[in-house]
C-alpha cells in the first residue's frame, strides 16, 4: 500500500503502510488524543461543530488527491501522506553527492535532522493558534472556508512531521512530538520556536498577508527540505508543497480582492488622492498606504525566518545533504560549493553593500533572495489590479534591511528605502512605515462578520470563481447554532 492511494481503514489515513507498521501506528494512535485536545482548545474558536466544505486527500496522485465534502473540523481525516518514492533517487548535493538517498536516519546527522524536523513541525500548529479567532470576523463564508482549509492542512503538516519523529527518532522523537503540542504561540513560558510564529494575526488583512508572505517562506523552506538526502523528509515535503499552493492563493487573492474593493470605492466616490486617508476610510475600505504598511510588517517578519545571512548551520545542513537550495537539481554547478562565493548584503560604514562570502555559509541569503524575487512577482500582480482601476499608487517591497530582528541588520534602524537612520528618525517615521495602533483599530472596526451565503463584507471584493467550481451563493460553511 506504499503508493498513490490512501489507506482509510486504519484510524490514521496514510499511504505509508501503517497497517503493517504496528509500532509506529501505536505511537501515532497514542499521540492522537492529545492532538485532538490541542485542536479543540487551540483550533478555530467557535466553529468546531460547524459543517465545513473541505477538501481531503484521498490519493497523492496529482490529478486525484482532492475530494470535497462537508465535515466537522475535529472529524477531519488528518493523514500521513508522502509523495511516491522515486526509484534510484540519490543525494543530490553536499559531501554525499551521488550516494543513494537515505531511507533511515544517518546516525551522525541525527541531531541536526531532528532539529530541522522539529522547527518545521513547530510552525504548523503555531499558525493555527495565531489564526484561531479569525472565524468570528470572516468577511464571507467563502473566506471562512478557506481559513479553515488552511488550518486543517497546517494541522496535517504537523502530523507529517510527527510521523517522521515517531518513525525515525525513537524515544526522543516521541518526546519532541509531545512538546509540539505543549508550546503555544505567543506564550511567555513556552513560546513557538521562530519569531514570526509568536506574533498576533489580529485581522483578516494580516491573515492574507501572512498566507502570502509567511506561507511563502514555508514554500521556500519546504522546497529546500524536499531536496533532502533523507528520502522520507523529501517525500513528505513534496506532498506538503501541493497544499502550500492553496495557502498562498488564499493570501494573494485575499489581498488582491481588498485592493480591488478599495480602488473601486475610491473611483466610485471620485477620490483621487490615495493618501486622503479620512475620505478613503469613510468609504468603509482600507486605504492603500495602510495596506502597504501591513505588507511591510509581514514581509519583514517573514525575512527573519530565513535566519542569518551568513550561517554555519546552513552550511552544515547543506554539506550533510540534509537541506538543499531552492530547485537544487536544476542549478548548473558542482552541488558541493566548496570554492564558490555568493554576494551577501551587509552594513558597511552605514551603507548597505554586497560582499562576497563563501557560498556555503551564504545559503540562507541565497534562499532569501529567491524568496524576495518570488514575492516581488506577486506584488506586481497586485499592482496590476491597482493600475487597471486607474488609481495612482504602487505597492513596493521595502528594503531587506528595514525592520529586521535577525541577522546582519538586527541592531540598526533602516528606512524602507534602505538608508541607515538614527533612533530619532526611526521614531518619527515608524508610524508611516508600519501599522500603528490607530491603523489596527480602524481595521478591527471594519472586521464585521458576513455569514450569509453570497454576501461579502464591504471592504473586500468577491472572488472571481468559487472553490470546487461552486456557484456564488454556495453555503461553504453551515454554521452550527
- The residue within the footprint of ligand BYC, chosen from 143, 217, 328, 369 (CB under 6 A), is 217
Q: Check binding of 304 to ligand BYC (CB under 6 A).
A: yes
- The residue within the footprint of Fe ion, chosen from 145, 157, 257, 293 (CB under 5 A), is 157
Q: Which part of the chain contacts ligand BYC (CB under 6 A), choosing from 3-11, 137-145, 209-217, 427-435?
A: 209-217
| Torsion from C-alpha of 223, 229, 235, 236, nearest 10 degrees | -70
Sequence-distant (≥ 6) Cβ neighbours of residue 158 within 8 angstroms? 35, 121, 124, 125, 180
Taking the least distance from each CB to Fe ion, the nearer of 94 and 121 is 121
Q: Check binding of 247 to Fe ion (CB under 5 A).
A: yes
User: Which helix (H) or strand (E) covers residue 71, if one does?
Assistant: strand 66-72
Q: Which three cell numbers stand for residue 67?
A: 475530494
- The residue within the footprint of ligand BYC, chosen from 124, 153, 203, 369 (CB under 6 A), is 124
Residues 398-416 as b/e (b if ≥16 CB within 10 A, e otherwise) read: bbbbbbbebbbbeebbbbb
CA distances from 197 to 23, 122, 220, 413 (A): 32, 9, 16, 23
d(CA 51, CA 476): 8
Q: Check binding of 227 to ligand BYC (CB under 6 A).
A: no
Indicate the residue whose CB is closest to ligand BYC. Answer: 307
d(CA 210, CA 298): 6
Residue 355 three-state SS: strand
Q: Which three cell numbers stand for residue 225?
A: 527540505
User: Which helix (H) or strand (E) covers residue 234, if one does?
Assistant: helix 231-269
Q: Comparing C-alpha atoms, which of 320, 160, 179 is closest to residue 232?
A: 160
CB of 70 to Fe ion, least distance (A): 23
Q: Which part of the chain contacts ligand BYC (CB under 6 A), choosing from 4-12, 121-129, 453-461, 470-478?
A: 121-129
CB of 193 to ligand BYC, least distance (A): 6
Q: Check binding of 308 to ligand BYC (CB under 6 A).
A: yes
Taking the least distance from each CB to ligand BYC, the nearer of 139 and 324 is 324
Q: Check binding of 242 to ligand BYC (CB under 6 A).
A: no
Q: Check binding of 154 to ligand BYC (CB under 6 A).
A: yes
Q: Check binding of 298 to Fe ion (CB under 5 A).
A: no
Q: Which does 307 bind (CB under 5 to 8 A by kind): ligand BYC, Fe ion, none?
A: ligand BYC
- The residue within the footprint of ligand BYC, chosen from 406, 446, 457, 460 (CB under 6 A), is 406
Contact footprint for Fe ion (CB under 5 A): 124, 154, 157, 215, 218, 247
Contact footprint for ligand BYC (CB under 6 A): 116, 119-120, 123-124, 127, 154, 194-195, 214-215, 217-218, 221, 304-308, 311, 313-314, 323, 364, 406
Amino acid at each position: 500500500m506504499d503508493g498513490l492511494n490512501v489507506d482509510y481503514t486504519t484510524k490514521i489515513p496514510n499511504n505509508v503502510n501503517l497497517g503493517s507498521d504496528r509500532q509506529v501506528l501505536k505511537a501515532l494512535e497514542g499521540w492522537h488524543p492529545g492532538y485532538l485536545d490541542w485542536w479543540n482548545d487551540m483550533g478555530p474558536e467557535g466553529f468546531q461543530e460547524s459543517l465545513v466544505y473541505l477538501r481531503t486527500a484521498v490519493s497523492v496522485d496529482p490529478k486525484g488527491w482532492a475530494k470535497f465534502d462537508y465535515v466537522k473540523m475535529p472529524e477531519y481525516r488528518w493523514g500521513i501522506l508522502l509523495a511516491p518514492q522515486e526509484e534510484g533517487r540519490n543525494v543530490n548535493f553536499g559531501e554525499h553527492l551521488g550516494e543513494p538517498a537515505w531511507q533511515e536516519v544517518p546516525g551522525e546527522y541525527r541531531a541536526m535532522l531532528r532539529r530541522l524536523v522539529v522547527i518545521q513541525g513547530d510552525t504548523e500548529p503555531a499558525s493555527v493558534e495565531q489564526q484561531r479567532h479569525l472565524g468570528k470576523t470572516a468577511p464571507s463564508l467563502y473566506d471562512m472556508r478557506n481559513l479553515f482549509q488552511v488550518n486543517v492542512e497546517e494541522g496535517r503538516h504537523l502530523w507529517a512531521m510527527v510521523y517522521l519523529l515517531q518513525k525515525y527518532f525513537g524515544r526522543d522523537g516521541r518526546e519532541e512530538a509531545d512538546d509540539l503540542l505543549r508550546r503555544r504561540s505567543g506564550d511567555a513560558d513556552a513560546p513557538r520556536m521562530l519569531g514570526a510564529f509568536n506574533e498576533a494575526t489580529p485581522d483578516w488583512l494580516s491573515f492574507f498577508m501572512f498566507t502570502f508572505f509567511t506561507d511563502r517562506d514555508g514554500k521556500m523552506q519546504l522546497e529546500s527540505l524536499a531536496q533532502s538526502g533523507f528520502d522520507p523528509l523529501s517525500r513528505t515535503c513534496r506532498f506538503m508543497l501541493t497544499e502550500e499552493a492553496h495557502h498562498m492563493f488564499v493570501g494573494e487573492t485575499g489581498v488582491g480582492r481588498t485592493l480591488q474593493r478599495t480602488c473601486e470605492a475610491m473611483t466610485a466616490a471620485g477620490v483621487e488622492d490615495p493618501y486622503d486617508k479620512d475620505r478613503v476610510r469613510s468609504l468603509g475600505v482600507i486605504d492603500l498606504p495602510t495596506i502597504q504598511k501591513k505588507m511591510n510588517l509581514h514581509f519583514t517578519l517573514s525575512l527573519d525566518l530565513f535566519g542569518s545571512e551568513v550561517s554555519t548551520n546552513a552550511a552544515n545542513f547543506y554539506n550533510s545533504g540534509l537541506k538543499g537550495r531552492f530547485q537544487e537539481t536544476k542549478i548548473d554547478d558542482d552541488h558541493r560549493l566548496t570554492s564558490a562565493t555568493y554576494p551577501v548584503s551587509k552594513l558597511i560604514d552605514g551603507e548597505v553593500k554586497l560582499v562576497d562570502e563563501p557560498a556555503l555559509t551564504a545559503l540562507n541569503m541565497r534562499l532569501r533572495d529567491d524568496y524576495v524575487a518570488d514575492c516581488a512577482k506577486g506584488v506586481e500582480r497586485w499592482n496590476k489590479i491597482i493600475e487597471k482601476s486607474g488609481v495612482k499608487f504602487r505597492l513596493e517591497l521595502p528594503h531587506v534591511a528595514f525592520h529586521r530582528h535577525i541577522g546582519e541588520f538586527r541592531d540598526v534602524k533602516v528606512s524602507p528605502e534602505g538608508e541607515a537612520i538614527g533612533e530619532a528618525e526611526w521614531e518619527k517615521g515608524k508610524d508611516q512605515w508600519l501599522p500603528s495602533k490607530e491603523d489596527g483599530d480602524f481595521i478591527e472596526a471594519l472586521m464585521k462578520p458576513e455569514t450569509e451565503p453570497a454576501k461579502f463584507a464591504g471592504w473586500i471584493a468577491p472572488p472571481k470563481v468559487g472553490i470546487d467550481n461552486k456557484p456564488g451563493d454556495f453555503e461553504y460553511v453551515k454554521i452550527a447554532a
